């Protein structure tokens, strides 16, 4: 694989991981928001049905976020297949972890049995 392909692979790998992390952060933020909304509604001076529509909308947004996360994992898997093709069908395609929080010289080895979920 050429240096250009290797550089592109590293950049794409970094960006897909960033996208996956942002997706997770969005789900965490929505969970915190829902928790705060439910705790606020437990105030005895607040009617029990107050904010129900907002909670329902938030639950819909959470479901969409889970769907987005699942689709990002599918994108990741498709990109893994693309990397195998670009690498010329190498049995073990290695994508360096440059710039990632990994020990120096560490690499991800993608084999035909690699599962990215």
Q: What is the mean pLDDT of each run of 10 residues along the chain (117 residues)?
A: 81 94 96 96 91 96 96 92 76 51 44 47
Torsion from C-alpha of 98, 100, 103, 85, nearest 10 degrees: -50
Q: Which tokens go with 9?
A: 């692979």
pLDDT computed for residue 93 by the predictor: 55
Whether the CB-CB separation of 61 and 30 falls below 8 Å is answered with yes
Domain count, the chain: 1
pLDDT computed for residue 90 by the predictor: 56
pLDDT computed for residue 68 by the predictor: 96
Domain assignment present for 17: yes
Domain assignment present for 117: no
Global pTM value: 0.69
Domain assignment present for 116: no
């Amino acid at each position: 694989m050429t240096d250009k392909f290797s550089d592109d692979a590293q950049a794409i790998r970094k960006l897909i991981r960033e996208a996956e992390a942002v997706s997770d952060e969005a789900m965490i933020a929505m969970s915190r928001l829902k928790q705060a909304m439910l705790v606020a509604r437990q105030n005895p001076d607040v009617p029990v049905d107050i904010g129900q529509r907002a909670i329902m909308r938030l639950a819909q947004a959470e479901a969409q976020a889970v769907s987005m996360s699942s689709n990002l994992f599918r994108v990741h898997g498709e990109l893994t297949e693309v990397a195998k093709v670009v690498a010329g069908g190498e049995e073990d395609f290695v994508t360096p972890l440059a710039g990632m929080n990994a020990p120096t010289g560490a690499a991800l080895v993608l084999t035909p049995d690699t599962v990215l979920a």
